[in-house]
Amino acid sequence: MQLERYQKTRDLRGRAQTETCDSGGFVAFWSDHKYVSARDRDGMEWLLKHGTVLRDIEAGDEGLMRIHQSRLVRRDSVDDLLRIRYRNSVDGFGVARVLGHEYRFSRDHWRKLIRQRLLESASKVQVQMR
């Protein structure tokens, strides 16, 4: 899928110019209040053009999986899946580690991941205490 991202350099008037790129070059997408950001395979963070929606990116690229309402990660670039538990509780949360950055799962998407058997075995997920 073709996306437009803002260049890191600015023009003579101080405005950021956009450039077209392929969504396959990015490993993670997340949305803030107004914008969608992405991280490429080199670890650089990019701001995507205003009007870009995660739903459209997910529909246009089959290699992505949704881990939260506001986060997508590329399935083949996930290094680790962690289940982090609180010290005195059974509750916790899931984390996908991609290129050294941690992206938190929502509880619903973690359950869907387990149910769909995208993990070979739930026991292979590392558990850490925080």
Task: Give one DSSP letter per residue of 39-95, joined into a string.
Answer: EETTS-EEEBPTT--HHHHHHH-TTEEEEETTEEEEGGG--EEEEEE-TT-S-EEEE
- Paired strand residues for 126: 82
Kindly report the number of other CB atoms within 10 A of residue 36's CB atom. 23
The phi and psi torsions of 64 (rounded to 5 degrees) equal -100, 150
Q: What percent of the chain has pLDDT over 70?
A: 87
Q: What is the pLDDT of residue 53?
A: 92
> What are the residue ranges spanned by the domains of the chain?
2-129
| Chain centroid to CA 43 | 12
Mean pLDDT value across the chain: 84
Separation of first and last alpha carbons in the chain: 38
3-state helix, strand, coil in the chain (%, to 5): 20, 45, 35
Q: What percent of the chain has pLDDT over 90?
A: 42
Q: What is the pLDDT of residue 128?
A: 64
Stretch 66-80: mean pLDDT, rounded? 92
Kindly report the number of other CB atoms within 10 A of residue 59's CB atom. 11
Task: Check pLDDT > 90 for residue 48.
Answer: yes
Is 2-129 a domain of CATH 3.90.1150.10?
no
Instruction: Please tell me which residue, 57 or 114, carries the higher pLDDT value.
Output: 57
